[in-house]
A and B are shown apart, each in its own frame.
Chain A
Amino acid sequence: MSLHSNLDTLYRQVIMDHYKNPRNRGELEGETLHVNMNNPTCGDRIQLQLKVEDEKIVEAKFVGEGCSISLSSASMMTEAVKGRTVEEALDMADIFSSMMQGQDYDDEKYDLGDIEALQGVTKFPARIKCATLAWKAMEKGFHDTDSE
């Protein structure tokens, strides 16, 4: 995997690992928050399910089709938000968004873990939307609930 150092900043080992072995891929039984989101410019789509109890995300799963970046990001996102409160998860989405825009972000507030491997995406502007798809789906899910 060292053919192209520039590419390697995008396709980090840990990303490829999430792509090959996605965490939380599948569907949840019972009552869940269900969000469908697609990227109309490229056809990537994700179906995200979140189970929230007492304001806390206790389960998160996804199914979908997409590239290595969008699927690995979905895998990482579901891992990161599990066990977090809705408020914390939305806050993490803001932090992730700042990271994707190449802005300074608070890397100590939460343990971002594997997510920081996606930093390389900022050097590939055409792929930022791939990385943010799953996070946007989560935000959409909670914002739609808020408005109800």
Chain B
Amino acid sequence: MDVKEIRKQFPILHQEVNGHPLVYLDSAATSQKPAKVIEKLDDYYRRYNSNVHRGVHTLGSIATDEYEGAREKVRSFIHASSIQEVVFTRGTTTAINTVAQSYGRTRLKAGDEIVITPMEHHSNLIPWQQLAKVTGATLKYIPLQEDGTLSLDDVRETITSNTKIVAAAHVSNVLGTINPIKEIARIAHENEAVILVDGAQGAPHMKVDVQELDCDFYAFSGHKMGGPTGIGALYGKKQLLENMEPVEFGGEMIDFVDLYDSTWKELPWKFEGGTPIIAGAVGLGAAIDFLEDIGLENIEKHEEELAAYALDKLQEVDGLHIYGPKERAGLVTFNIDDVHPHDVATVLDAEGIAVRAGHHCAQPLMKWLDVAATARASFYVYNTKEDIDALTEGLIKTKEYFGDVFA
């Protein structure tokens, strides 16, 4: 994998920020976009922008072919068995809310359990909190080990025959923990529960095979994997999706409409009410082509190397604390003694280095870590060891800059 060549394909990376070459280390928030994706969007709007699934006209046919072609790309990307199992959504959040509303509301009742983990992003936490409130079900957490991983013993202990839904992140957006989804899915199924996987930090970075994981639902976002914002996908097993009601009603998702009753289109379209996110889907298709040309195994290996390098290199910074396990996906969350993460991020920004500071939409996890906020550097296919060197330098400068204050 030639990172130099890959970097050339990301126009945004070739600029200076505050007088320094941009070092973009915030891909877990959103990734940058390769030229191929940007061109694909441009091409869509310039050449064949049309609504899909209706017009008889030529542009409408091209748009429909491209839109449905993108669905096939998503299917193959996550190794689903049929395009009927791939619903386009606005992103991970919408995908999870769709399951909570459509699957959860009609099936859960008081006494049932929803099991999640304390490392969930708010988008895989609040939908379940709300579902528990509405249905009277109990929300339970699989406890975290000290290093921020899950133990299968705890998973077995927490999931019971009363559990109806298990929801877990594939990869933690704060700790970088890669969860043992296949094993959790098996335990969920032994208890006749379904499992939803929040793949927002999984799908962009590693090969995902939903059949091998045997998860019932898998949700992810396009913008974290080189695609545009506003597009994502929900994978669901066909027999589950078939028995679920749509949550959005309107055009595009109907079969027959009468004055007092209507019927729905077949899968997956019954879940795609309204004019779909055509440009977004087409752009996501281009992003998938881009990632598959590089190879997901190569991307995963590259990020693993960067994470290992960062864990080692960052030891050079005095008073730095890193959160999460040693074996991790491509991100590092940390704090420096006596310097608030906002101040860290501002000083780094002055050096052209973009990191995230705050609670990372994981307030319960911040509480567990016993911190108000943290800083996070996250890596993607275009990052290099030089980026991590720049980060290390920047952090040493931060420490020096603030060192005087508490000297």
Contacts and interface: CB of A to CB of B under 8 A. Distances in A.
Interface in A5-62: 6-7, 10-11, 16, 19-20, 41-45
B404 interface: yes
Given A44-B372, A45-B372, A3 B358 contact: no
Interface residues of A, number: 24
A13 to B, nearest CB: 10
A43 B350 contact: no
B15 to A, nearest CB: 17
A100 interface: no
A69 B342 contact: yes
Main secondary structure of the interface of B (DSSP, over half): helix
B350 A7 contact: yes
Interface in B311-350: 340-343, 346-347, 350
Nearest to A129: B342
A42 B350 contact: no
Given A20-B405, A43-B363, A43-B373, A124 B346 contact: yes
Nearest to A39: B358
A95 to B, nearest CB: 24
**Which of A42, A43, A65 has the most chain B CB atoms closer than 10 A to its own CB?**
A43
A127 B346 contact: yes
B405 A19 contact: yes
B397 interface: yes
Contacts of A16: 404-405
Contacts of B363: 43
B346 A7 contact: yes
Interface string B342-368: 110011001000000111000100100
15 contacts: A1-B401, A4-B397, A7-B401, A11-B401, A41-B358, A42-B359, A42-B373, A43-B358, A43-B366, A43-B372, A65-B372, A67-B341, A68-B343, A69-B342, A127-B342
Given A6-B350, A124-B346, A126-B346, 20 more contacts: A4-B350, A4-B401, A6-B18, A7-B401, A16-B405, A41-B358, A42-B359, A43-B358, A43-B359, A43-B372, A44-B342, A44-B372, A45-B372, A66-B342, A66-B372, A67-B342, A68-B340, A68-B343, A127-B342, A130-B342
